[in-house]
Structure 1
Amino acid sequence: MNKSLVLNVVRQEGPISRAQVAKKTNITRATVSDIVNDLIADGAIYEGGEDNSPVGRKGILLNYNASLGFGVGVDIGGTKISFGLFDVNAELLATKTVETYKVVTNDIFISLLADSIREFIAENNRDLTSLQVIGIATPGIVDYKKGIVVEGSPNLPGWENLNLSARITEHLGVPVVLENDVRAALVGEVWKGQCQNVQSAILLAVGTGIGSALLMDGNIIRGFGNAAGEIGYMLFEREQLHMNWDNKGCFESLASGSGLAARMKGEGEQTAEQTETAADIFVAAKRGDAVAKRLVEEFTDYLSIAILNLVSVVNPEKILLMGGLSNAAEDYLPRINENIKKHTFSRTSVEVTVSEIKDLAPLYGISILALRIVQPTVQFLKDIKLV
């Protein structure tokens, strides 16, 4: 415990002297000195710089060694895959994005993913032998502890009952941590985004599909079957109980990017605009197309209802939007916040905003989740329970 305490003080407060460490930890100077010597031998900290205190004997300052090793974070999506190189202080050093591999089996996909990770490491002039851990954020229901994709995305091949962690470890020989992409993004928001120093928050991912992640009273919520936050299956009316949503889910069919595009297609020839994608629909609505405008308003109101239902359950301090449709938030966010204001009171009122770190959120989050496995004594989010 003392070693962990000293290491975290050096990481959070450094450069710092031994005397200052002793004062902040209430550990004797002799014990601090012994611990520091061990940590220097481990390579976890190093000496560098001089204490400029005007009184007393000048000491050599202690620094956290963020370059002791590195990890790679991966955010897998239906259309793109993002890679992030991070140090042991969970800082992103480099990023890269490629198109999602169009292959028919998960064997080929995993082999290509391993090759891409090796290539990414080489491009950044790193030695594979210094790779400590890999973190992967993926769509679907994920068993975080076992590293298994229980139920995955239809856009990825064979992405069900897949022991992705073990398969990637076979290729690259390091531990692999797996997490749902939206949940990883919420951890990233807590680490580097708008949810820093927040105890209760909701992150809504509104893109091709719809998902959410929940932080309640300092706890990242996964649920009994690791399926907490699967709001794409939310219902709004009694009649919807008897409708077939083709495994997509009612809310996702009504308000996701793919659902919005499908609904517009169902309107047939009633619109003269080119509206093959959700982005096209928002553009058409801005230009005054009546059908597109109506669908955008319905999308906004369904999203408002879902958010209000979540607010009633979670009472969050922050609600953030991310995903492809958040890029058009200026077209619908004022109406959402107006709806929320109308149906909440002083203790539940909350403003919905758009993520500022956006696509970096899942990379930051998966780096934190990965490092806690190989650096368990380091406290990155001391007031947040991740498991």
Structure 2
Amino acid sequence: MIALIDIGGTQIKYGIMNTNTETARTLGSIDTATDLPDFNILDRIDIAIEHIKEDYTIRGIAISSAGVVNPTTGKIVHANPNIPNYANTSLKEILENKYNLPVSVENDVNAALLGEIYFGKHQSVSSAIMLTIGTGVGGALFLNHQIYHGYSFSAGEVGYTFLNDQNIEEVVSARALVNRVQQQTPHEKVDGFYIFKELEKGNPEIARILDDYCQQLAKAIINQVSLLNPELVILGGGIMEQTGYFEPQLTKYFNQFYTNHYASQRTTITFATLGNTAGMLGAYQHFKNQHPNK
């Protein structure tokens, strides 16, 4: 059994992987209450591992984590302030010394892409881009059958690229869409559920905003595809679960705006299928790559 840990900005999810059958089970989650003055993320990780060890004998620990990760050393080389004192944490070394077990650490979006490739429907794919559309826009690159990390482990950070003189995440994140709808409606609580409920009702302003949003997202995808020429583009994030709407719209605008028709006809836009389990599954795949005999 391999312990699976997925470290996010608001919670740590944990589970177990049966290496004989390669089936995973989610066991629970722990909130990361970062408003506490004595908060230490390592304490929360230890709680998750100890919970797993209560019922399972583990032979390793596979971690998916927010932040910029050195995937070889397992060090968190950079992290946002929403996880205090996390940057420069030698996570792999600390946990290996404490538990006397092999440990692997991979960035959460990279892990999610590995999960979608190896445990989803895309095992035969050699190249893919993943965009996660949420509060921001995350990204990951899978090239020549492996994650491409970049010189400083920051490859795939598409949210920092520009569209219409703004960072892409200010244009095509789910937050950007909600903010735009909020400006056009007196409704006090705008979220994805409200937006698509109004679309079903035939709200013309919502339809217009969504249509323009799809045009901008298609252009953002084209920018990535033009540079890397992947076989597959995988879109993840809660709002992208509305595949019945987004799949035909994005495909239409992708083909309309991408003037390299030879490449556009050979690029597939698809959607993540593993949900919240993708990160843990990808963490296991990264562990297996690093420790093939475990």
Bin for the TM-score computed over the shorter chain: 0.7 to 0.9
- Of the candidates 146, 157, 164, which is equivalent to residue 84 of structure 2? 157
Alignment of 1:55-134 (within 5 A): 70-89=1-20, 91-104=22-35, 108-122=40-54, 125-127=55-57, 131-134=58-61
Asked if structure 1 preserves the Cα contact closer than 8 Å seen for 2:214 and 2:246, the reply is yes
Q: Is the 8 A contact 2:115 2:278 kept in 1?
A: yes
Task: Provide the aligned length of Structure 1 versus Structure 2.
Answer: 290
What RMSD, in angstroms, separates the aligned Cα atoms of the two structures?
A: 2.5
Distance of 1:257 and 1:179 partners within structure 2: 25
Provide the TM-score with structure 2 as the length reference. 0.87
- Structure 1 residues 214 and 93: CA distance shift in structure 2, 3 A: closer
Choose between structure 1 and 2 for higher RCO, CA contacts under 8 A separated by at least 6 residues: 2
Counterpart of 1:346 (choices 262, 279, 282) is 262
Instruction: Point out the structure with max Rg over C-alpha.
Output: 1
1:254-273 equivalences in 2 (<5 Å): 254-265=171-182, 267=183, 270-273=184-187
Residue 177 of structure 1 and its aligned partner are, at CA, apart by 1.2
In structure 1, how many angstroms separate the alpha carbons of the residues matched to 2:206 and 2:9? Answer: 25
Superposed displacement of residue 257, structure 1: 2.4
- Distance across 2 between alignment mates of 1:259 and 1:271: 15
Give the % identical residues: 28
What amino acid is aligned across from residue 251 of structure 2 in structure 1? N
Q: CA deviation at 1:108?
A: 2.7
* Residue matched to 2:243: 329
Shift in Å at residue 189 of structure 1? 2.1
- State the Cα deviation string for residues 29-71 of structure 1 (Å, max 9, x = none): xxxxxxxxxxxxxxxxxxxxxxxxxxxxxxxxxxxxxxxxx21
2:118 alignment counterpart? 191
Once the two structures are TM-superposed, the CA of residue 173 in structure 1 deviates from its matched residue by: 3.5
**1: CA distance, partners of 2:107 / 2:231:** 22
What's the counterpart of residue 372 of structure 1?
Answer: 289
Return the letter of the residue paired with 2:246.
Y
Structure 1 counterpart of 2:226: 312
CA 1:330–1:155 in structure 2 vs 1: closer, same or farther (change >3 Å)?
Answer: farther
- Partner residue of 1:175? 102
What per-residue deviation string (whole Å, max 9, x for no partner) do you get for residues 172-205 of structure 1? Answer: 3323211111111221222121220111111221
Deviations 1:129-166 (A, max 9, x none): xx221111112221112212222244323332222223
- Which blocks of at least 5 consecutive residues in structure 1 are unaligned? 1-69, 241-249, 379-387
Q: Deviation per CA, 1:301-336, whole angstroms, max 9, x where unpaired?
A: 221111111111222222211221222232322111
Query: Given that residues 203 and 319 in structure 1 are in contact (C-alpha distance below 8 angstroms), is that contact kept between their aligned partners in structure 2?
Result: yes
SS in 1 for 2:13: strand
Residue identity matched to 1:277: D
Cα deviation, 1:204-229, whole Å, max 9, x if unaligned, reads: 21122211111223232111111110
Deviates most, 275-284 or 107-116: 275-284
What amino acid sits opposite 2:42 in the alignment? I
Change (3 A) 1:303 1:126: same
Q: Is the 8 A contact 1:133 1:371 kept in 2?
A: no
Cα 1:324/1:176, change in 2 over 3 Å: same
| Change in CA separation of 1:277 and 1:193 when aligned onto 2, cut-off 3 Å | same
Contact 1:185/1:362 (8 A) holds in 2? yes
Distance of aligned partners of 1:160 and 1:258 in 2 relative to their CA distance in 1, 3 Å threshold: farther
| Unmatched segments (≥5 aa) in structure 2 | none
**Partners in 2 of 1:116 and 1:148 — Cα distance?**
19
